Structure 1
Amino acid sequence: MLTGPRRILLTTLVAVSVAAPMSGTEVPAPVPAAAPGGFTEARYAAARHNLLAAERMAAGHGQRRRAEALRAMADPARRFLFFDGRDGGRSAEVFGDLAGAGRVVVLVPGTDTSIDRYGRLHADAKALQGELGDSAAVVAWLGYRTPQTLSAAVLTPDRADEAVPGLRALVRELGPSRVSLLCHSYGAVACGRAAGGLDGVANIILYGAAGTGTTTPLRTTTPVWAARGTRDWIAAVPHAQFRLPFLTLGLGMDPMSPGAGTRLFAAGDGGHSDYLRPGSLPLRNIAAIVSGTAPDA
């Protein structure tokens, strides 16, 4: 008989499966054209071409909201390493001078992040790059299909596992030694699952984490940092993981727990979406970690 966190997780899985089934509706998008490598204007131009092609197709199918979002993303002042509008959308937007930056932060988002709901990720990346200054760059990485908060997918690490190959490939391309991973909510699960193949990165920072994706401390030589605001509802999520015949249920251990092996830093009294709010304590502390100075404990 299941008890404690396992019973809660299984009950929740059944509830959200009934109450919030996944939508079968998908916005059509073209196959993206190939882009050159490197951090060059030619690569950014190729991504812009793919954005505009997807915008035209969305508009042609009457998807006005998606078309408007893509049109804004294709602004010549913005730069993307890649864009693919299929399967919910994949992108990597650059803030700052990626080619010349001494430090690079890859921002890995959590649930409910998509092309249609891109504003928060964009604002967070912009705020972080502003706090870090011109010597650093930020990549807002929407490289996987994030689960919906009210869905069965959010209770398993499956979507996080789908993110791992792309995240590791991006880090290799950027040069691991200058990269810090900044992982929010379900994005922390993706970073945790990828951590074993990310040795050499400067930092892994988990904030507002739903879990680490594992039942043991992350197997990495990289410093792993963790923080959670006192008003963040994610603290109430059960931290457990166990295997059923056809899936793994649960998102792993709490990175704030004593056995997680993480370095804790202060996040103040903010809520789940407040960590990178301009002027906030967690934003200052994250910038300090990335810059190599000590944050508030």
Structure 2
Amino acid sequence: MRGFRVRRALAAAAVALAAVLGAGGWAAGTQTPLTGPPPGSAAWTADASLGLRLPDPATATPAGVAAFFAGLAPARQDALAVRHPLVVGNLDGAPVPLRYRANALALAAERTRELARAVDPALTPQDHAAARTRAERYRTLLDGGRQVLAFDPRGRGQVAEVYGDLTGAARTAVIVPGSDIDLLSFDRAGNPYGTPAGMARALHEATGRQVAVIAWAGYTTPVGLGPDAATEDLARAGADRLTRLLDGLAATTRPQAPATVYCHSYGSVVCGLARPSPARASGVVVLGSPGMGVGSAADLDPRVPLWATARNGSDWIGDVPNVRLFGLGHGADPTAPGFGARPLPATGSHGHNGYFAPGTDSLAAYAAVALGRA
């Protein structure tokens, strides 16, 4: 009997692997998650210009960061943003408008650096092309008064953008994306509703612009359908960063309720491992989910409502078995009746990335959840 169970487990793992391979091909290599404090933290902690000890980005809580900035006059806050834009712009707990200003400064500085790299004779033509791409990316993020809540140029790059009035809105929401999202792709025009920016814009509009929505590309996502997408390593690192983001919102904004978190595809694994508490989230919504890294809704905080979107018939994620064996797979299907999530409709949606498309029942349901009317 024991041998049969082992053979059955191995067979299930092989099926899951085959499904991933068949869905899009096994991506070579793995991603190294971006963790730790923001770039420039060493210079920040060594800065004694204000005669104060600055909070250590590696150890200070968002609540502690918020308390520190609350004790500073606006001019002193601004001086820190000018001297340390990459730290202030990524420091959860810092005032939201100050982070917008710091990130605009950081984007402008990084754009100047990439423009110089684009003509550096010591670099290759490939390096020049990559620098031009990055410089153009930074230019678009500087255009039109965009509200950039976080910006980190390291690695594939990370960014978070706000749609609406984050400090004044009665309700807020956060979009947590799945694979293949980074600084260059988080708002790609060719796939608008498969990106956190497109999802955030659609949700903001669907709520009559009453809900401030954060498009959060703030963790290292898997690339392609490979080892990273089938395991939880990146999700664990992302869960820590998501928790810190939610703590920062709780410390710096005063909505009627904590944020509602919308978790797409691999992002639902991030949300499951984060296990947000009522102080951090008023609800969690998963869509196109391969599983949440938990056995059922009972493994999450029961005080935080969980909604699962019905899977449309053209979503390829339905071909991935819901197993969790030997570190492979993400567990039970959140849309299954026995999982314990509240169901949301998907009528009108198409494909893995169509759940936020205008006119779909899924988007209408997401808006109702965000507005507290579900």
User: Is 2:78 the partner of 1:38?
Assistant: no
In the alignment, the residues of structure 1 paired with residue 219 and residue 96 of structure 2 have an alpha-carbon distance, to the nearest angstrom, of 21
What is the distance in 1 between the residues matched to 2:243 and 2:272? 12
Task: State the alpha-carbon separation in 2 of the partners of residues 74 and 46 from structure 1.
Answer: 12
Distance 1:23 1:240 in 2: 21
Superposition pairs of residues 1-297 of structure 1, within 5 angstroms: 1=7, 2-11=9-18, 19-22=26-29, 31=40, 33-35=86-88, 37-40=94-97, 42-59=98-115, 60=117, 61-62=127-128, 63=130, 64-119=132-187, 120-175=195-250, 177-195=257-275, 197-200=276-279, 201-217=281-297, 218-220=299-301, 221-227=303-309, 228-243=311-326, 248-269=327-348, 270-294=350-374
Q: CA deviation at 1:273?
A: 0.8
Q: Are the equivalent residues in 2 in contact too, given 1:102–1:178 (CA < 8 A)?
A: no
CA deviation map 1:45-94 (0-9, x unaligned): 10112222233333414212222122101225101112101021122111
Runs of at least 5 residues in structure 2 that lack an aligned partner in the other structure: 1-6, 32-38, 41-84, 118-126, 188-194
SS in 2 for 1:81: strand
Letter in 1 for 2:313: T
Distance 1:23 1:116 in 2: 19
CA distance 1:192–1:53, shift in 2 (3 Å): same
In the superposition, relative to structure 1, how do residues 292 and 75 fare at CA in structure 2: closer, same or farther (>3 Å)?
same
Letter in 2 for 1:226: A
The answer (yes or no) to whether the contact 1:106–1:138 under 8 Å persists in 2 is: yes
Q: Give the number of the structure whose residues are more often helix, by fraction.
A: 2
Tell me the SS of whatever aligns to 1:116.
Answer: coil
Q: Which amino acid aligns with 2:107?
A: L
Secondary structure, in 3 states, of the residue corresponding to 1:22? coil
Comparing 47-56 with 131-140, greater Cα deviation is found at: 47-56
What is the CA–CA distance in structure 2 between the aligned matches of 1:162 and 1:69, rounded to whole Å?
Answer: 25
How far apart are the structure 2 equivalents of 1:33 and 1:289?
A: 34
| Distance in 2 (alpha carbons) for counterparts of 1:112 and 1:187 | 11
- Tell which structure's C-alpha radius of gyration is larger: 2
Q: Secondary structure at the match of 2:318?
A: helix
**Equivalent residue letter for 2:321:** P
| Cα deviation, residue 14, structure 1 | 8.3
The one-letter code sitting in structure 1 at the alignment partner of 2:14 is R
Q: Distance in 2 between matches of 1:23 and 1:67?
A: 26
- Percent of aligned pairs with the same amino acid: 34
> Partners in 2 of 1:165 and 1:85 — Cα distance?
19
Counterpart secondary structure, 1:74: helix
Could you tell me whether the CA contact under 8 Å between 1:215 and 1:241 is conserved in 2?
no
Q: SS where residue 143 of structure 2 aligns?
A: coil
Letter of the structure 2 residue corresponding to residue 34 of structure 1: V
SS in structure 2 opposite 1:87?
coil
Which deviates more, 108-117 or 214-223? 214-223
Q: What is the match of residue 27 of structure 1?
A: none
The 2-side partners of 1:235 and 1:100 are apart by: 39
CA contact (8 A) 1:226 1:256 kept: yes
CA contact (8 A) 2:20 2:225 kept: no
Asked if structure 2 preserves the Cα contact closer than 8 Å seen for 1:168 and 1:198, the reply is: no
- AA aligned opposite 2:371: S
* Distance (whole Å) between structure 1 residues aligned to residue 246 and residue 30 of structure 2: 32
CA RMSD of aligned residues (A): 2.5
Equivalent residues of 1:97, 1:134 under 8 A apart: no
Paired amino acid for 1:126: R
What SS is found at the alignment partner of 2:224?
coil
Q: Is the 8 A contact 1:95 1:125 kept in 2?
A: yes
Kindly tell me the number of residue pairs found equivalent between the two proteins: 284
TM-score if structure 2 supplies the norm length?
Answer: 0.70
- Cα distance in 2 for partners of 1:148, 1:11 equals 18
- Give the conservation status (yes or no) of the 8 Å contact 2:296–2:334: no
